[in-house]
Chains A and B, each alone.
Chain A
Amino acid sequence: MKSKEVSIFFTDITDIFLFTIRVIRETFSRNFEFKEFIHQCFQIGNKTLPLIAITGTIMGLVLTIQSRPILIEFGAVSMLPGMVAVSIIREMGPVITALICAGKIGSGMGAELGSMKVTEQIEAMEVSSTNPMRYLVVTRVLAAMLMVPLLILYADALGLIGSWAGANIKGDVSFALFFSQAFSHVDFIDFLPAVIKSFFFGAVIGIVGCYKGYNAGRGTESVGIAANSAVVLASLLVIIVDMIAVQFTDMLVL
């Protein structure tokens, strides 16, 4: 990488850090925009549900279909529900859902705020005595932090149902038996790191999406750039946050 590109990358990271500090400061200031926060929760949560439902179900289905022959080879097919449950709850569910959310929510925020910037709507808000950081950014970031973990739990549940369906394509296992076997291998401690890291995934997606949109350039071209770079950077940061979370979990032997 050329020195100029390295310099731009680190400037970007520093700016995101400063932007995050501003978001935190505005979050704890007075006049929280509660109505807009609820509206954003609906936009982020409800409108992503169908996409997450399809992805979650297919994730469980595919994982089961691909794992089954190997487990049969080792005579461990009874371990299938437990193995799938642990991998979906600890890793597959959170990461795949977060990556889907980075694409859907991150690009949406980048494009929406980017077009608001280009068409002077953010400035119009500012001269209407409304703090755009508080109204547009804080509400979106907090909504993403709340909705992404819920979407992940929803994807986990549908992933397990998909897994049960997958197990029944070539086998025959009842719903009750499948879930009994699955949850016999899952402890509360399997949920905890996954839920904690999913809050960070939500924060990363919200902050990057808003940062890219809020700092879009002047032309219409910059809206596309903002949406695109929001997805790329948010996806990359989701993977990095996941790596850090795994290291922490491993250190704490969770």
Chain B
Amino acid sequence: MITEQVITSKNPSTADKSDEIVIELKNIKKSFDKQEVLKDVSLKLFNGENLVILGRSGSGKSVLIKCIVRLLIPDEGTINVLEENVGTLNSAGLDALRKKIGFLFQSGALYDSMTVKQNLEFPLRRINKDLKQQEIDEKVLTVLDNVGLADALDKMPSQLSGGMRKRISLARTIIADPKIMLYDEPTAGLDPITSDEISSLINEVQKKYKTSSIVITHDIECARTTANRILMLQDGVVYKEGTLEEIEKSDDPFIKSFFKL
């Protein structure tokens, strides 16, 4: 069960928001075979904000954030993350940059052959090889406590529910103190209550770890809870950008149907 203290952040934080750009995408294009997934996408993520990217399934949202960490390489365009050009980084530079980025995968992507504790230790040991076991244990317990699952330490991923897997996955991502968080469909496949808990947890992470985040979703409730700003993707291009209020005030039929207004 998630602890009550975790579900407190119904609104995203604006306290640490600044005009400093942490991620900037310029004219990104990406195709698979002959299918153009991203036609021309440009966006900026400012320090301390939660940017929600909304769009229908297959609109290229996941492809977009995978390009940010170079899991996919765009055909055209440039991506700057924390003032580094992702496309020109060598292997060591890319590793160093990835240490500052947390990525929550749609499926959770917990390592099946490892316990929860080993899953959490894995990135920690790789990012900081000088850490002592006692320090690792403390960090593991702290992040597990932060996601409300301190008693899941010795469980295998197969023993966890969908919501618990997402929370453990989030714990594994934040354990390395990332500056930027990328969430790929954090509430996909979860019931409304658990989705709400995960959305609140995203806000909690933003406040506690002072992260800047991109949240990819098609879940309107998740967007409402987590967004400082919303960007809508449609047919591989940016369809609309603005705050939640600005988007919801729009008369555009597509946006109205998306938000069920």
Show the binding face of A for B, using Cβ within 8 Å: 112, 115-116, 119-121, 123-130
Closest 9 CB pairs of A and B: A124-B109, A128-B123, A120-B109, A129-B95, A120-B105, A127-B103, A119-B107, A121-B109, A129-B98
Restricting to B80-116, which residues have a CB under 8 Å from any CB of A? 95-96, 98-99, 101, 103, 105-113
Q: Which residue of B lies closest to A135 (CB)?
A: B126
| Residues on the A chain within 8 Å of B66, using CB | 123
| Residues on the B chain within 8 Å of A120, using CB | 105-107, 109
Q: Which residue of A lies closest to B99 (CB)?
A: A129
Cβ contact within 8 Å between A124 and B98: no
Restricting to B49-97, which residues have a CB under 8 Å from any CB of A? 66, 69, 71, 95-96
* Interface CB pairs A-B, < 8 A, 11: A115-B112, A116-B112, A119-B109, A119-B112, A120-B107, A121-B110, A123-B105, A123-B109, A124-B105, A124-B109, A125-B111
Cβ contact within 8 Å between A121 and B99: no
Show the binding face of B for A, using Cβ within 8 Å: 66, 69, 71, 95-96, 98-99, 101, 103, 105-113, 122-123, 126-127, 176
- Measured between alpha carbons, how far is A128 from B107 in the docked complex, in Å? 16
Query: Could you list 9 further interchain pairs (A-B, Cβ under 8 angstroms) beyond the known A120-B105, A125-B111, A129-B126?
Result: A115-B112, A119-B108, A121-B109, A123-B71, A124-B103, A126-B71, A128-B98, A129-B127, A130-B126
- Measured between alpha carbons, how far is A119 from B123 in the docked complex, in Å? 18
Minimum distance in angstroms from B73 CB to a CB of chain A: 13
- Measured between alpha carbons, how far is A130 from B99 in the docked complex, in Å? 10
| Residues on the B chain within 8 Å of A124, using CB | 103, 105, 109, 111
Minimum distance in angstroms from B81 CB to a CB of chain A: 12
Cβ contact within 8 Å between B69 and A127: yes
Knowing A120-B107, A123-B71, say if A128 contacts B112 (CB, 8 Å).
no
Q: Which residue of B lies closest to A126 (CB)?
A: B71
**Majority secondary structure, A binding face:** helix
| Residues on the B chain within 8 Å of A116, using CB | 111-112
| Residues on the B chain within 8 Å of A126, using CB | 71, 98
Q: Which residue of B lies closest to A29 (CB)?
A: B91
Partner of A127, one of B71, B108, B111: B71
| Residues on the A chain within 8 Å of B95, using CB | 129
Q: Which residue of B lies closest to A122 (CB)?
A: B109
- Measured between alpha carbons, how far is A123 from B99 in the docked complex, in Å? 14
| Residues on the B chain within 8 Å of A115, using CB | 112
Q: Which residue of B lies closest to A123 (CB)?
A: B71
| Residues on the B chain within 8 Å of A129, using CB | 95-96, 98-99, 123, 126-127
| Residues on the A chain within 8 Å of B110, using CB | 121
Q: Which residue of A lies closest to B92 (CB)?
A: A129
- Measured between alpha carbons, how far is A197 from B223 in the docked complex, in Å? 59
- Measured between alpha carbons, how far is A125 from B99 in the docked complex, in Å? 12
Minimum distance in angstroms from A6 CB to a CB of chain B: 21
Minimum distance in angstroms from B17 CB to a CB of chain A: 25
Minimum distance in angstroms from A109 CB to a CB of chain B: 13
| Residues on the A chain within 8 Å of B109, using CB | 119-121, 123-124
- Measured between alpha carbons, how far is A123 from B67 in the docked complex, in Å? 12
- Measured between alpha carbons, how far is A123 from B182 in the docked complex, in Å? 13
| Residues on the A chain within 8 Å of B111, using CB | 116, 121, 124-125
Q: Which residue of A lies closest to B69 (CB)?
A: A127
| Residues on the A chain within 8 Å of B107, using CB | 119-120
Minimum distance in angstroms from A209 CB to a CB of chain B: 16
- Measured between alpha carbons, how far is A124 from B106 in the docked complex, in Å? 11
- Measured between alpha carbons, how far is A104 from B6 in the docked complex, in Å? 46
Minimum distance in angstroms from A219 CB to a CB of chain B: 13
Q: Which residue of B lies closest to A43 (CB)?
A: B113
- Measured between alpha carbons, how far is A161 from B109 in the docked complex, in Å? 47
Cβ contact within 8 Å between B112 and A127: no
Cβ contact within 8 Å between B126 and A128: yes
Minimum distance in angstroms from A111 CB to a CB of chain B: 11
- Measured between alpha carbons, how far is A129 from B110 in the docked complex, in Å? 16
Q: Which residue of A lies closest to B71 (CB)?
A: A123
| Residues on the B chain within 8 Å of A121, using CB | 109-112
Knowing A121-B111, A121-B112, say if A127 contacts B98 (CB, 8 Å).
yes
Q: Which residue of B lies closest to A124 (CB)?
A: B109
| Residues on the A chain within 8 Å of B98, using CB | 126-129
Q: Which residue of A lies closest to B169 (CB)?
A: A124
| Residues on the B chain within 8 Å of A127, using CB | 69, 71, 98, 101, 103
